[in-house]
Amino acid sequence: MSDTAIDRSRLTVSDEVAIQILGMNKWYGAFHVLRDINLTINKGERIVVCGPSGSGKSTLIRCINRLEEHQSGKIVVDGIELTNDLKHIDQVRSEVGMVFQHFNLFPHLTILENCTLAPIWVRKVPKKEAVETAMYYLEKVKIPEQANKYPGQLSGGQQQRVAIARSLCMRPNIMLFDEPTSALDPEMIKEVLDTMIQLAEEGMTMICVTHEMGFARQVANRVIFMDQGQIVEQNEPEAFFNNPRSDRTRLFLSQILGH
Amino acid sequence: MSDTAIDRSRLTVSDEVAIQILGMNKWYGAFHVLRDINLTINKGERIVVCGPSGSGKSTLIRCINRLEEHQSGKIVVDGIELTNDLKHIDQVRSEVGMVFQHFNLFPHLTILENCTLAPIWVRKVPKKEAVETAMYYLEKVKIPEQANKYPGQLSGGQQQRVAIARSLCMRPNIMLFDEPTSALDPEMIKEVLDTMIQLAEEGMTMICVTHEMGFARQVANRVIFMDQGQIVEQNEPEAFFNNPRSDRTRLFLSQILGH
Amino acid sequence: ATLDDVKARGKLNCGTNTGLVGFAAPDANGDWQGFDVAVCRAVAAAVLGDSSAVEFVPTTGKTRFTALASGEIDMLVRNTTWTFSRDVDLKFTFVGVNYYDGQGFMVPKALGVSSAKELDGATVCIQTGTTTELNLADFFRVNNITYEPVPIETNEQAQQQYLAGACDVYTTDASGLAATRATFEDPTAHVVLPEIISKEPLGPLVRHGDDEWADIVRWTLNALIAAEEYGVTSANIDELAAAPTTNPEINRLLGTEGGLGEMLGLPADWAVKAIKAGGNYGELFEKYIGQNTPIGLARGLNAQWTDGGLMYAPPFR
Amino acid sequence: MTSYPDVSRETFRLRMLIFDTRYRSLTIQVVALIAFMLLVAWIVSNTVQNLADLGKPIDFGFLTGAAQYDINQTLIEYTNRDSHLRAAFVGLLNTLLVAALGCTLATVLGVIIGVLRLSRNWLVARLMTVYVELFRNVPVLLWIVFFMAILIETLPPPNAFRGENATASMLLGDSVALTNRGFYIPEPLFSRSLGDISVFGAFDISLDLIAFLAVLAAGLWASARIRARADRIQNQTGLRPTTWYLRLGVVAVPVLIVLVALGFHLGYPELKGFNFRGGIYMRNSLIALWLALSFYTAAFIAEIVRGGILAISKGQTEAAAALGLRPNRIMSLVILPQALRVIIPPLISQYLNLTKNSSLAIAVGYMDITGTLGGITMGQTGRELECVLLMMAFYLAISLVISTAMNWYDARVRLVER
Amino acid sequence: MSGTHAHSAAFVRDRMIPQEPPPDRSIGALGWLRQNLFSSWLNAALTLVSLALIGALLAAVLPWVVHSSWTANSLSECREQIKAAYGPEESGACWAVIRERWSQLIFGFYPSEIYWRPILAFGTALGGLAPVLFPGVPRRALYLTAAAPFLVPWLLWGGTVWLPVAVAFGFVLGYAGFRVVAPWAGGILGAIAAGLVPVLWWLLLAGKAAGGLQEILPLGIEPVSSRNFGGFMLSITIGLTAITLSLPIGILLALGRQSRMFIVKVICVGVIEFVRGVPLITLLFVAWLLLNYFMPPNTNFDIILRVIIMVTLFASAYVAEVIRGGLAALPRGQYEAADALGLDYWKAQRLIVMPQALKISIPGIVSTFIGVFKDTTLVSIIGLLDPVGFSNSIRADVNWNGIVWELYGFIALMFFIFCFSMSRYSMYLERRLRTGHR
Ligand SMILES: Nc1ncnc2c1ncn2[C@@H]1O[C@H](COP(=O)(O)OP(=O)(O)OP(=O)(O)O)[C@@H](O)[C@H]1O
Ligand SMILES: Nc1ncnc2c1ncn2[C@@H]1O[C@H](COP(=O)(O)OP(=O)(O)OP(=O)(O)O)[C@@H](O)[C@H]1O
Ligand SMILES: NC(=O)CC[C@H](N)C(=O)O
Ligand SMILES: [Mg+2]
Ligand SMILES: [Mg+2]
């Protein structure tokens, strides 16, 4: 994958808990999508979630910023429990950034406006400051020169980097990625992964649904394997890849890596 | 590229001229796309055209079957000069087959219908005969079993092979290929190249715009390098690749092969 | 020419009202009946020998003239007033008058109005494209009172609005008012005001430019009127037409003497057929709109000149 | 480079007209042009011939003659002594009036229904589906006559309001009367009126209205300034001052002052004589036409609105929500700006349709341009060709204006793409 | 590599958790109610308001619909019957008028003994359309499609059988003209010949030939004048003709509008924009008042024919715009591939471009058709007796004077059934075509 040398020792994990999920269950109608999920994630962790299609990976991370509602169990993000309380939801959402598979940039706004929209209207940041922040992050994802273009004028890789910058402009403590590279052409994947690696180096708490196993090995400190709505196995990347303990994991890995 | 062993000695070139282009120029509006092109191609030659994007490769081969009009100079195909005379244009087009980058199959017709359409309506071949011919060529490109499917049901590589078969059904003397593999996934490229190699072995006159240098080395008897609407260099493949004479060629080759 | 067209077609296209009881309305079987319709039938009988060879084209006040001008109908008998501009500017030929009429007003009795002059501020239902529409404007202007016109396409719509109380007054030709009132559930609840504010000579008309055809229609109408004058009725006509009678006038009318039919380009017994189609003018009047019908119009101005009326057929000679 | 023989200069031969790509298209165009001209010439010569035979050559002189008929709803001064041209103009204004009223109501209804169709409430969504299917699958003409029939048959006549034992009564504190002749609503009156001014000597405009509009415009301008200031403050500090009461105030207070100064009061309709007097009288024909056109068009607009909102993918909402935007901000900052681009072009063509459909006014006796110029004037003067041509020209002009507006909008909001 | 992990908590699930039912009442009837009707206060309020609205409407309309008379012969008789049956205060619907005038509402004044002819005609038309509309119908039915345009008018208007034969012969002549001229002078002249020969034939000879043949071999059925057409038969006749004719004309206009030839394009744009810019009613005025002026003196053709011409023109312009959208959506590569295979312009259009463009345009075309069918009611304004026009003349009958809702209700219902099924059909077609190639 990435050729960027990464110094894993610099990736530290604190002892503070960032996200705690306890006995969480979710149904779509009568269909049990997430079953008894228990997961504690500390600040600075980099979690990669993988698993077959339909196993509930997306649903899991969408529950974390309440794009989906869970029906039982408990989700606590940064000390705030997700209930129906709108205040809490807003608070959590402004702590948690999310990057979607299909970028979901706002096509009617310029790149800069995409990035400043939420800080101005949610964080009530003065415009000038918002623009500065936006430019800072756009530079970080290496596309400051595109600031005044519209999303339609950018390549897929550039768009995804804008999406990341847009999330970062809210200065979140936690970033969620839902297959951020799977809609991209091969050349563009690298651009985006590099950006994510950089983020990881800076100590961002990240949960990333991805099948880029190179990325997982290089960056993740934990890999979670899901199937049928359950966490089937989790482990450190080396152990996970070299020595999967469950049969389902082994089968899955053989498919993915043999590919 | 292809692993198929190819016996170059079997690829013969006759002395008869198939295509002759003399001092041809073409403009798009005020933009001079093709500048003083001179090129003679004999029957049985296999020409590979390469060059940077926008150098006019596509335009050149599209001029040969008059999808584009040239403004000065002369193009003679199989003894017929391309003028504004519709009769001549029709004649040339039924001598020259063309395969596009994006296949351009007719999505509302089955594979078989795609292949028999032109023979029936242009060549006035009885339907039965047309179907036989079509099946013959579909077998040749190794997808006779797909005959009754629709293009949308085939993979890209299969579609491109159908596109080749469709051209062949008109029994052309000359085949033009415009980057036939560049819209394909790597696994599918081989299928298509194999088909083209097979064609070459059977003595078809071919002009192929491609950046598949393996194919060029293996099959072409001449490689033409274009830049800025001009033919910058042409040579036999070995000489061309190992010993490019112009600086531009060298630069271009270093980019392409390093890739 | 029109005569040839009609003969070739084998049918007469006659424009009539979309529905005005007594003058022109289809009955339950879809057959058109009425005083105006009878004129069409008489012409058809005279020209084609068959009183049922008529294609009735229902027209509204607004559509009738275009239908005639564009050649869609051969003649128009739709209680149409003979006016200068229609004759001269619109280029039509009025061939005579089959009913001398004038414009009146009808109001519900409950309104307690006894004169048209009391109608200040009233809402008036009025058919568009008619002379009555123009007369009404003049009347209120002259008397310096106001009104609120409600323009309406057909008699039947006017009736609907009038009965629902969407207009206080309905105004049109007095004959039309009587005919309309006759169809009400309770005719006695409505009165026609005494004022007649205009002259409305109603008659058949044809296009300018085909005098032969105009003559045929004109003299067919005259034949009906003259027949009444001479005492030719549908009861005695067979007898009278069988052989020349002592009255040469009747003989010329019925074609047993002279060649009037030939001059028109019609068979000699053209008038016999026309009269037999429904009877003479008096019979038609009594049958469709006379005192014994629900409409109950008196002859009045429409009596023969011999009885002090205006019906005066020029001599047949 | 080698010199090359030039393309041989061919001599022109006749067959090149057909087989030479250069001449071929010319040949076809010339043939098409000639055929088209012949057709037009044929029609024109036939028409001239026919009209000459009838003795009425094309002549627009009749337009200056006295119309002689009365029109019930006149937005400008009109009497039966005025010319046909003025009558046509009265009709034209009536067309524009019903079109404007109709477009407004249709938009309001259409937006509400379109949004409700997306409601998560099953019953409401179904109900709106039924509404849409019902209205767009039945001819608009039928709706027009149907609404007219409802007005005429179900509402009481003015008579019913009369006397001791009246069977009907006015609504809203005796200020509104719904009768089967139409609706009477209070009218604005000014006891210290400024009077009228005459425009080109053709019609009068109330100075009160002008004063009112001028103050209103000034108020709106001030409000816009306040809003701009709020934007500025937000840009600087990030906090947006609450300004709605200020903005309301600058609009409302001066307007109120002007109204008081002019002695504004409402004129209530009163039953006098045969009819109500005073107030604004909306005739049943106007109401039936207005409601039918609006309800019918609203069904189409609802579909457009629904489509527009659905076209903005769920992803946009989710992305905005994930950024922490509140639902109302998501709507105003993300969904609406995008949905409007999808909605407005077809919406404008619905406006065009509504305007064209207003020509069905003739079915209920509403005196629009088809009723005056294309109806009574045509009937009384027998000038079919002239009247129909004028009418078509008028509608063409309208649709030209509207489609120009649409193209302009389209070009302005097109998403920038690669 | 290590030591940085707070959780080396490796975890393996040994027992998979099975599907469990959801905890609360989010399923079942109650759950459905809660989610769909009472999910919030606002929703609950909306639900109640809707229920009240539905209730009020039904309470107002249902008794009227049910408390009805089917047997009376006049409005007053009907009112009495209802009063007698349901009490003196009740009012109800007089469906009797529908019963009595049923055949008129459907067929107008068409002679009742030959009602089978319009029925057969529309059956034929449907049969002709079937192979086009539904894929399952055997190809042989296409013969019916070819015959229908001649058979249907003949059945409707009657007259000599030789006239449709002569008209059909024109097409044969056109084809022959093309075959004779094309090889010698090329496609374009061939096409002109194919257009010109039959037109000349129809204008100059067809009538005489039909007349002559009729003399020799009199074969025919009773002619019916179009004045007698009325009711839904009239709507369907106008609608169906306009719909079938507008498709080919619309295609030609759309192609003309896309053409690179300036003059052709200008003419087509002019026609399309003109027709779309004016209300249909003004076009009907033209049909009714002016079309006869446009024809040579003394040609006086049928008002229904004139109306059909104008409605067809109107529909064509709208269809052209829809098809233009379809053409624009077609990728350029398709044209190029067709060119490269040596297909000429018309063959490329017919075999490659149109089949795809039409498929894309189907929803638009069908909604245009629905619009045209609904707009046939406008002919009542120029005095034709379509259902709406007929309802007026029924009301002009003394017996039924004052009847309103029953007639409008019936007509509206019929139109609703026609239009609704057309729009459902278009959805079906869309769905079928979307999955067609996959
Ligand atoms: N809105 C919904 N309603 C009903 N079922 C849904 C909904 N969204 C997802 N599902 C189902 O829930 C299951 C889990 O979906 P989810 O998108 O979380 O899977 P995933 O692991 O992200 O798969 P993929 O790799 O394909 O994205 C799937 O079986 C899916 O069909
Ligand atoms: N229809 C056109 N109108 C104007 N310019 C054109 C048109 N088609 C191509 N060009 C221009 O002509 C030049 C040559 O185009 P051409 O497609 O032949 O290049 P190419 O060598 O095939 O490039 P590529 O490798 O990207 O396909 C380019 O600069 C292109 O922008
Ligand atoms: N009301 C009518 O239908 C006829 C009106 C009047 N007699 C006219 O000719 O204009
Ligand atoms: Mg997913
Ligand atoms: Mg190219």
Per-residue pLDDT at E6 exceeds 50:
no
Shared-domain flag, residues E122 and E174 = no
Interface probe for C, chosen from E229, E397, E400, E403 (most Cβ of C below 10 Å), is E397
pLDDT higher than threshold 90 for residue A252: no
The C-alpha atoms of residue E93 and residue E78 are separated, in whole angstroms, by 9
**pLDDT of D13:** 66
Is pLDDT at E140 greater than 70 in this prediction?
Answer: yes
**Mean pLDDT, residues E222-246 taken together:** 88
Boundary-marking domain end, from E199, E221, E243: E221
What confidence tier does E35 reach under pLDDT thresholds 50, 70, 90? confident
In whole angstroms, what is the distance from residue D261 CA to residue D377 CA?
Answer: 44
Is there a domain that residue E249 lies in?
yes
Instruction: Using a pLDDT cut of 90, give the percent of chain E over it.
Output: 21
pLDDT at position D417:
60
Q: Name the CA radius of gyration of chain B, rounded.
A: 18
Place of tokens 């979630």: A49
User: Which tokens belong to A158?
Assistant: 């550039």
Geometric angle at alpha carbon E418, from E417 and E421, rounded to 5°? 80
**Average pLDDT for residues B118-133, to the nearest whole number?**
92
| pLDDT digits 0-9 by tens, C169-191 | 999 999 999 988 988 888 899 99
Choose among D234, D322, D338: nearest Cβ to A93. Answer: D322
Is residue E316 included in any domain, yes or no? yes
Residue whose CA lies nearest to ligand 2 atom number 2: B28
Tokens 């349709």, residue located: D353
- Asked whether the predicted pLDDT for residue A164 surpasses 70, the reply is yes
How confident is the model over C119-126, as a mean pLDDT? 91
The single-letter code of the amino acid at E91 is: S
* E126 and E264 co-located in one domain: no
CB of D320 less than 8 A from some CB of A: yes
Res. B88: pLDDT tops 90: no
What's residue D2's pLDDT? Answer: 39
What mean pLDDT do residues B207-236 have? 89
CA of B59 to the centre of ligand 2 (A): 6
Q: In this structure, are residues C43 and C220 in contact, taking their beta carbons and an 8 Å threshold? A: yes
- Mean pLDDT confidence for D40-60: 86
Q: Domain with E428 in it: what CATH number?
A: 1.10.3720.10
Higher pLDDT, E39 or D8: E39
Distance from the D308 Cα atom to the nearest Cα atom in chain A, whole angstroms: 15
**A142 — pLDDT class (breaks 50, 70, 90):** confident
Q: Is the CB of A58 under 6 A from ligand 1?
A: yes
| Ligand 3 centroid, distance to C164 Cα (angstroms) | 23
Pairing mode, strands A46-50 and A205-209: parallel
Is pLDDT of A234 > 60? yes
Do E274 and E404 fall within a single domain? Answer: yes
D with C: touching (≥3 Cβ pairs within 8 Å) = yes
- Per the document, the length of chain E is 438
Q: Do D2 and B38 touch (CB under 8 A)?
A: yes
Backbone angles phi, psi at D223, to 5 degrees: -60, -40
The pLDDT of residue C61:
82
Return phi, psi of residue A179, to 5°. Answer: 40, 65
E383 inside domain: yes
Per-residue model confidence (pLDDT) at position D416: 64
The answer on E123 and E72 residing in a single domain is no
Compute the distance between CA of residue C47 and CA of residue C265 in angstroms, rounded to an integer: 9
pLDDT of residue A47 exceeding 60, the answer is yes
The β-bridge relationship of strands E220-221 and C12-17 is unpaired
What average pLDDT score do residues A20-47 get? Answer: 90
Residue D142 is nearest to which of E50, E280, E377, comparing CB atoms?
Answer: E377
Measured from the CA of C17, which atom of ligand 3 is nearest? 3
Mean pLDDT confidence for D295-316: 90
Q: Cα(C125) to centroid of ligand 3, in Å?
A: 13
pLDDT digits (tens, 9 = 90+) for A237-248: 888 888 888 888
Are E251 and E173 members of one domain?
A: no
Residues E433 and E329 in one domain: yes
Q: What is the pLDDT of residues D189-239, one digit of tens each?
A: 888 877 788 777 777 788 888 888 999 999 999 999 998 998 888 888 878
pLDDT tens figures, B23-36: 999 998 888 999 99
Predicted pLDDT of residue D8: 46
pLDDT at res. A64: 92
Instruction: Record the tokens describing residue A157, joined without a space.
Output: 């890789």
Residue D14's pLDDT is what?
64
- Please give the helix or strand (H or E) that residue B149 lies within, else none: none
Choose the closest CB to C148 out of D54, D56, D275: D275
B152/E contact by beta carbon, under 8 A: yes
Structural domains counted in chain E: 4
**pLDDT value of position E227:** 78
Q: Is pLDDT of E313 > 90?
A: yes
Closest CA to E251 of E195, E322, E189: E322
DSSP state of D203: E
Mean of the per-residue pLDDT values of chain C: 90
Specify whether E176 is located in the same domain as E135. no
Average pLDDT score over residue span A85-91 = 86
pLDDT value for E2? 37
- Asked if residue E207 has pLDDT above 80, the reply is no
> Across residues C46-74, what is the average pLDDT?
87
Residues E192 and E283 in one domain: no
Least CB–CB distance from D362: residue in E50, E375, E381: E381
Cβ–Cβ below 8 Å for E392 and C156: yes
Structural contact between residues E175 and E194, judged by C-beta atoms closer than 8 angstroms: yes
pLDDT above 50: residue E371: yes
- What is the identity of the amino acid at E325? G
Q: Do E404 and D357 touch (CB under 8 A)?
A: no
What whole-number distance in Å separates Cα of residue A138 and Cα of residue A131? Answer: 10
What pLDDT score does E17 carry?
Answer: 82
Q: What would the mean pLDDT of A227-239 be, rounded to a whole number? A: 90
User: B111 in contact with E at a CB cutoff of 8 Å?
Assistant: no
Q: What is the whole-number distance in angstroms between the Cα of residue B209 and the centre of ligand 5?
A: 8
**Structure confidence at residue E244 as a pLDDT band (50, 70, 90):** confident
Q: What is the mean pLDDT of chain A?
A: 87
Residue E2 is assigned to a structural domain of this protein: no
* DSSP secondary structure letter of residue D238: S
Record: contact E26-A27, CB cut-off 8 A: yes
Structure confidence at residue A2 (pLDDT) = 43
E287 shares a domain with E143: no
Sign of the Cα torsion B129, B135, B138, B140 reads negative
pLDDT for res D17: 65
The pLDDT-based confidence of C9 (bands split at 50, 70, 90) is confident
Please give the domain boundaries of chain D with CATH numbers for all domains: 3-50 (no CATH), 108-186+268-368 (1.10.3720.10)
Q: What pLDDT score does B259 carry? A: 46
Distance CA D413, CA D406 (A): 11
- Judge if the beta carbon of residue B56 lies within 6 A of ligand 2: yes
Contact B151, E436 (CB under 8 A): no
Q: Tell me if A23 CB under 6 Å of ligand 1.
A: no
CB atoms within 10 A of CB E421: 12
Q: Residue with the nearest Cα to atom 24 of ligand 2?
A: B53
**Integer distance in angstroms from the first to the last C-alpha of chain B?**
14
Whether residues E378 and E415 fall in one domain:
yes
Q: Which residues pair with C202 in a beta bridge?
A: C81, C99
Whether the predicted pLDDT of E166 surpasses 70:
yes
- pLDDT given for residue D4 in this prediction: 40
pLDDT of C183 reads 84
Q: How far is the CA of B53 from the centre of ligand 5 (A)?
A: 7
Q: Best-predicted range by mean pLDDT among C14-18, D100-104, D195-199, E261-265?
A: D100-104
Report DSSP state, residue A28. Answer: E
Shared domain for E268 and E374, answered yes or no, is yes
Q: What's the domain range around E216? A: 159-221
Q: What is the pLDDT of residue E4?
A: 39
Q: Which residues surround ligand 4, an ion (CB under 5 A)?
A: A 58
Q: Which residue of E has its CA nearest to A72?
A: E23
Task: Determine the Cα–Cα distance for residues C122 and C165; give it in Å rounded to an integer.
Answer: 11
Neighbours of D192 (CB within 10 A): 10
How far apart, in whole angstroms, are the C-alpha atoms of residue D69 and residue C132?
Answer: 10
- Give the model's pLDDT for residue A124: 87
ipTM at complex level: 0.85
Number of residues that this document lists for chain C: 317
Given a cut of 80, whether residue D16 has pLDDT beyond it is no
Whether E253 and E131 map to the same domain: the answer is no
Q: Note whether D188 and D227 are within 8 A (CB).
A: no
What pLDDT, on a 0 to 100 scale, did the predictor assign at position D5?
41
Indicate the pairing of strand A31-42 with strand A17-28: antiparallel
Indicate if the pLDDT at residue D9 is higher than 80: no
Give residue E436's pLDDT.
47
Most confidently modeled of B158-172, B186-200, D170-184? Answer: B158-172
Q: Which residues of B touch D2 (CB under 8 A)?
A: 23, 38
Contact E211, E87 (CB under 8 A): no
**Banded pLDDT at B7 (limits 50, 70, 90):** low
Cross-chain CB nearest to D4 (options B23, B69, B86)? B23
Full-model pTM: 0.87
Specify whether the CB–CB gap between E378 and D360 falls below 8 A: yes
What's the pLDDT at D18? 64
Q: Are D282 and D185 in contact (CB under 8 A)?
A: yes
3-state SS class at B4? coil
Nearest Cα neighbor of D187 from D179, D177, D197 is D177
The answer, yes or no, to whether residue E218 has pLDDT greater than 50, is: yes
Atom of ligand 1 nearest to the CA of A28: 4
Helix/strand/coil for A255: helix
Residue E153 lies in a domain: no
- Name the token pair of D374: 């294309």
Q: Which residue has the higher pLDDT, D4 or C255?
A: C255
User: Residue A86 burial (CB < 10 Å; 0-12/13-18/19+)?
Assistant: exposed
The tens digit of pLDDT for each residue in A147-161 reads 999 988 888 888 999
| pLDDT for the residue D369 | 93
State residue D1's pLDDT score. 38
Residue D90 has pLDDT above 50, yes or no: yes
